Amino acid sequence: TAESVSATSPPPPPPPPHFVIVPLPAQGHTIPMVDLARLLAERGARASLVVTPLNAARLRGVADLAAGAKLPFEIVEVPFPPAADTGLPPGVENIDQITDYGHFFPFFNALPELAAPLEAYLRALPARPSCIISDWSNSWTAGVASRVGVPRLFFHGPSCFYSLCDLNAAAHGLQQQGDNDRYVVPGMPVRVEVTKDTQPGFLNSPGWEENRDAAMEAMRTADGAVVNTFLDLEDEFIACYEAALGKPVWTLGPFCLYNRDADAMASRGNKPDVAQSVVTTWLDAMDTDSVIYVNFGSLARKVPKYLFEVGHGLEDSGKPFIWVVKESEVATPEVQEWLSALETRTAGRGLVVRGWAPQLAILSHRAVGGFVTHCGWNSMLESIAHGVPVVTWPHFSDQFLNERLAVDVLGVGVPVGVTTPVLVFGDEAMAVSRGDVARAVSKLMDGGEEAGERRRKAKEYGEKARRAMEKGGSSYESLTQLIHSFTLQGGKKL
């Protein structure tokens, strides 16, 4: 009878968990969360990525690939509030579109308007999702999660080294003190000295107190954290961060290694402004580990004065290079002319990319032997994951501490020598000269013992990163546990 069958047959397996992922609309925050969503989907969980229309359009390539692979991955569009309500120019839905400092604040303050459509989406689902994973800055998701009754993890972009520094400095109120020009971050397993200029802290400019307090509170009330890092890179900092936070920290990275083939790499972030094949063909002709790659991320913009120093520094270094400049940096005829002249002088050994470059395809090429980076955590980790040592040139926010990790702790970086941050759109105060650039690049790329040791360490971390993401590796197994935990245990770590 039906009764005797049900008494003897095992209960059906629980359905796979459903993760709803809410990134901050900035490429350095969205890209890793897209990779995370695809990783979850590849491992059998359902992943829904909540973005506004402009950001959804940028992800069309990702969505097509996921659909082709029949991954349980979907993009959920929620409207961005109208310009009339936000005070932003029409069409601005991503931080990389902001060209006026006065627009950052209205942008962040427009985001809580996404709470109502997010809540409506969650309530309309046939079953309550298992978990929301939202960017650390998206504090407005905390109320949505608690009203709908869904657990919430926060995703914080930087390393655990950085986040631990931030937590410890905040716990001692150090970021608020006006008289401490320089201090040692308390509670760190290694000595970390910062200045007022280089200290940790997101959203901590004057006037942003409410936003930062809300983010810190949302962090306190979250059920755990997801971090794009791996155990063999910073195990002590991960352990201390988890202890300080007092909740599970899931280290699942490097997420970028999800992108194993050319199509996945090309679909990531914005549409590249140069064909991936052009870059790889150029690199194919170069010796192994001979090329220095230069890119300052999705936001930092250099005024011509800086740009010239970078270009001359690369030229003077005598090394082959790929240099990515933003369209907005070469907007005037004078700068364009200067750049064309530089390209002529360095023809055959220099490739300048204007716009968005296929960064992963470049970093994963055997010819690339160094990266001049602004130390955004994604760029830094992408470099390390591919065994490429770095010249560190931090610009703002977490980047100065990422530099400390690369240089002092991991031993894979040469600092270009900056000690003060610059504004996102460049700053007239010249901090780095062509001599600094040439010197740091030569130091990183020369064949000496020190450079060799740095390269050896970078390759070792690259190897460990690859293993972390393979079956049996720490990040792979941590993801297994995360999925298992939200299938059976409501998000608790075993």
Binding-site ranges for ligand UDP (CB under 6 A): 27-28, 31, 269, 295, 297-299, 324, 356-357, 359, 376-379, 382
Residue number with CB closer to ligand UDP (295 or 474): 295
Q: How far apart are CA 463 and CA 474, in angstroms?
A: 13
CA atoms within 13 A on the CB side of 186: 10
Residue number with the smallest Cβ distance to ligand UDP: 28
Residue number with CB closer to ligand UDP (316 or 427): 427
Cβ proximity of 219 and 241 under 8 Å: no
Shortest Å, Cβ 461 to ligand UDP: 17
Cβ proximity of 123 and 367 under 8 Å: no
Residue number with CB closer to ligand UDP (130 or 137): 137
Q: How far apart are CA 333 and CA 88, in angstroms?
A: 29
Residue number with CB closer to ligand UDP (19 or 293): 293
Q: Which of 96, 111, 196, 105 is nearest to 425 (CA)?
A: 96
The two three-digit tokens of residue 291, written as one number: 């090329």
Residue number with CB closer to ligand UDP (81 or 426): 426
Shortest Å, Cβ 481 to ligand UDP: 26
Q: Which of 113, 88, 116 is nearest to 100 (CA)?
A: 88
Work out the angle between the directed axes of helices 60-68 and 27-42 (0-180°, nearest 10). Answer: 10
Cβ proximity of 453 and 411 under 8 Å: yes
Shortest Å, Cβ 129 to ligand UDP: 26
- Continuous H helices in 388-490: 399-404, 434-445, 449-469, 474-488
Phi, psi of 356 (to 5 degrees): -95, 130
Shortest Å, Cβ 103 to ligand UDP: 17
Report the length, in residues, of the chain.
494
Shortest Å, Cβ 381 to ligand UDP: 8
Residue number with CB closer to ligand UDP (346 or 359): 359
Shortest Å, Cβ 151 to ligand UDP: 27
Q: How far apart are CA 83 and CA 320, in angstroms?
A: 45
Shortest Å, Cβ 356 to ligand UDP: 4
Residue number with CB closer to ligand UDP (249 or 299): 299
